[in-house]
A = this chain, B = another copy of it.
């Protein structure tokens, strides 16, 4: 129906007759002539209709925004002075010779030209087909498609097989709530939508598939905080007979190829590796944003004897932590800004935000410092802080003192916020691996050990014998890939021996009966020659969000849902017939 995309025209087409199909971005009448900006996936081009050609001109007069047109015309250079350097097609225009209105449009509730203000997200989701016409949204979905194709091409070249695993499956217990699907043929029973293909990919390794991948849809029925979606997509990978070093190297190669191919960006040749312990110590986080040149510095040993309970308490508590965070040139912060940061750390449970302004330490020593807490600190403590942080005149030092979890979360978040607010961030991409995670975390509520990753993660070989003696000290063979403060991938070497899997279940307080009921098929499969294996999963939505600079994962999905897990476009979920419920042996429970 067409010869060219609108956005592909340039002066090499001068004089050619072309046929274009697209949408009316804008119609202007100027000096007796009609100008139509015609838009398709590749871009815009200006089409001109002269009143000389009366029939086609009068048809052009009927045209409104978002009408769908088929236009035959001749490409010509724009008259001098009307070239538009901002538009890739801006040196040419098309003289309209024929015009067919393929479809009309009502006035759209979203303005699609670049000058208009943004519509509300509700309108954008309800009229998603209009929102997606915006070049910005088109570009994001295009990047997404390029990313998955680049992943597939890389993995295909490495001998990976793309294998589909079921969507209608058994509950996989990974912490979150399952979406359930009632079975009609087995009344009263339910399938679950997978939270990930975890157990199936392990079964594929037991099936001898050796190298598996899948761009897999996953489902979690969680309350949608912040930026989550009930269904999301991951690049799911599993391999046999490969060490974590080999797998991590291969994955680095893949991510490098991806960035190179899709964004033309060169990532570092080898990603640094940080242990979980070091990452928490230096950044208060297991997904540190390395672009921020600030670090947490432990000062508890300087504080345990001071006469200031806010510091001395956590300093003496084995579960406490006291840190300093030096902010170069931070003494320029106003009282109001510091109050703002105090509120900010409060979100993470910090009860306050102590600080010292370093005005003239070099010349005046202690007298050159300014702080409400200074009076509590003996000289030795002040001296120690200044030495350890390396603070200089003009700097500011923040303090966090509380349970270690509170300090890590609050000062870790403050670190990133300061980086953003004060423009301290390095440019570009700073990937890393975080490794040596603990196997177990102690949950104080239930007084139980819980898996930091999932119950199929293998412990370090050298700790196998002593697993039960000190579960809290046991490290796992897990690894997370972190990029600019976002965890983009996580995985581990898995348990491949039945006895070890049973011991880990037991440590997690899963009884033999529960294990049999929920994981009986896995335990059985482990008896029949399971190879050593491991894998990783990358969050596709989040990765594409990073690569496109989008601020929400909803902006990199074609048809996302709202925070209450509804689709405003199709109006799902919705009521169903009594008959359908009967077939499924279900009844709606009256509200309590």
Identify which of B129, B177, B497 contacts A103 (C-beta below 8 A). B497
> Hey, what's the 0/1 contact readout for A38-72 against B, CB within 8 Å counting as 1?
01110000000000000000000000001110100
Q: Which residue of chain B has its CB nearest to the CB of A67? A: B529
Which residues of A in the span 527-579 have a Cβ within 8 Å of any Cβ on B? 527-532, 557-559, 561, 564-567, 569-576
Shortest beta-carbon distance, A457 to chain B, in Å?
18
User: Taking CB as reference atom, which chain B residue is nearest A42?
Assistant: B210
Give residues of chain A (157-189) contacting chain B, Cβ–Cβ below 8 Å. 161-171, 177-189
Bound CA span A127–B521, Å: 9
Tell whether A511 is near chain B: CB-to-CB under 8 Å.
no
- Residue A580 lies at the interface, judged by CB distance under 8 Å to chain B: yes
| CB-defined contacts of A223 to chain B, threshold 8 Å | 185
Q: Which residue of B lies closest to A221 (CB)?
A: B184
Residue A230, interface by CB 8 Å: yes
Instruction: Report if A103-B209 is in contact (Cβ < 8 Å); known contacts: A183-B573, A219-B168, A572-B170.
Output: no
* B525, A129: Cβ atoms closer than 8 Å: yes
Give this chain's copy count: 2
**Is the CB of A84 closer than 8 A to any CB of chain B?**
no
Contacts of A67 in B (CB 8 A): 529
Q: A203-B128, A574-B190 are in contact. Are A2 and B591 (CB under 8 A)?
A: no
A168 touches B164 (CB 8 A): no
A569 with B241, Cβ < 8 A, contacts A149-B162, A180-B584, A531-B21 known: no
B532, A203: Cβ atoms closer than 8 Å: no
Asked if B532 and A188 make an inter-chain contact with CB atoms under 8 angstroms apart, the answer reads: no
Contact B41 A128 (CB under 8 A): no
Cβ < 8 Å to B, chain A residues 574-592: 574-576, 580-589, 591
Closest 4 CB pairs of A and B: A132-B207, A105-B529, A170-B572, A189-B573
Known: A40-B210, A170-B574. A532 touches B190 (CB 8 A): no
| B558-A191 in contact (CB<8A) | no
Answer yes or no: A384 CB below 8 A from chain B CBs.
Answer: no
Are B165 and A558 touching (Cβ within 8 A)?
Answer: yes
CB of A233 within 8 Å of the partner chain: yes
Chain A contributes a number of interface residues (CB within 8 A of B) equal to 121
A452 to B575, CA, bound (A): 28
Interface presence of A208 (CB below 8 A): yes
Q: Mark A514-530, 1 if CB is under 8 A from B, else 0.
A: 00000011000101111
A580 to B586, CA, bound (A): 14
Closest-by-CB residue of B relative to A187 is B591
CB–CB B528/A169 < 8 A: no
The interface-forming segment of A9-17, A138-146, A349-357 is: A138-146
Known A129-B204, A167-B167, A520-B571; 4 more pairs at CB < 8 Å: A106-B528, A138-B208, A180-B576, A184-B221
CA of A108 to CA of B527 in the docked complex: distance in angstroms?
Answer: 9
- Docked pose: A185 CA to B224 CA in angstroms: 10
**At the interface, yes or no: A152 with Cβ under 8 Å from chain B?**
yes
CB pair B163–A241 under 8 Å, yes or no, is no
Q: Does A496 reach chain B (CB closer than 8 Å)? A: yes
**Distance A240 CA – B571 CA, assembled complex (angstroms):** 25
Question: Are A209 and B138 in contact (CB-based, < 8 A)?
Answer: yes
Contact A567:B167 (CB < 8 A) given known A161-B141, A193-B181, A527-B105: no
Whether A171 pairs with B574 at a CB distance below 8 angstroms is yes
Please tell me if the beta carbons of A203 and B170 are within 8 angstroms of each other in the complex.
Answer: no
A531 (CB) vs chain B CBs: closest residue: B68
A521 touches B573 (CB 8 A): no
Complex CA distance for A199 and B567, rounded to whole angstroms? 14
Q: Any chain B CB within 8 A of the CB of A133? A: yes
Which B residues lie within 8 Å of A145 (CB)?
Answer: 156, 161-163
| B184 and A177 within 8 A (CB) | yes
Given contacts A41-B208, A141-B209, A210-B40, contact A168 B561 (CB under 8 A): yes
Report chain B residues within 8 Å CB of A26.
none
Q: Are A188 and B588 in contact (CB under 8 A)?
A: yes
Interface assignment of A405: CB less than 8 Å from any CB of chain B? no
Interchain CB contact under 8 A, A132 and B170: no
**A111 lies within 8 A of chain B by Cβ:** no
A226 at the interface (CB under 8 A from B): no
Q: Check A510 for interface membership: any CB of B closer than 8 A.
A: no
- Please determine whether B566 and A186 come into contact, CB atoms closer than 8 angstroms: yes
A510 to B557, CA, bound (A): 32
Q: How far is the CB of A314 from chain B (nearest CB, A)?
A: 39
On whether the beta carbons of B183 and A181 are closer than 8 Å, the reply is: no
Say whether A253 faces chain B, with CB atoms less than 8 Å apart. Answer: no
Task: Tell me the smallest distance from the CB of A584 to a CB of chain B, in Å.
Answer: 7
User: Known: A164-B233, A186-B573, A588-B188. Contact between A132 and B102, CB under 8 A?
Assistant: no
Nearest-Cβ distance from residue A205 to partner chain B, whole angstroms: 9
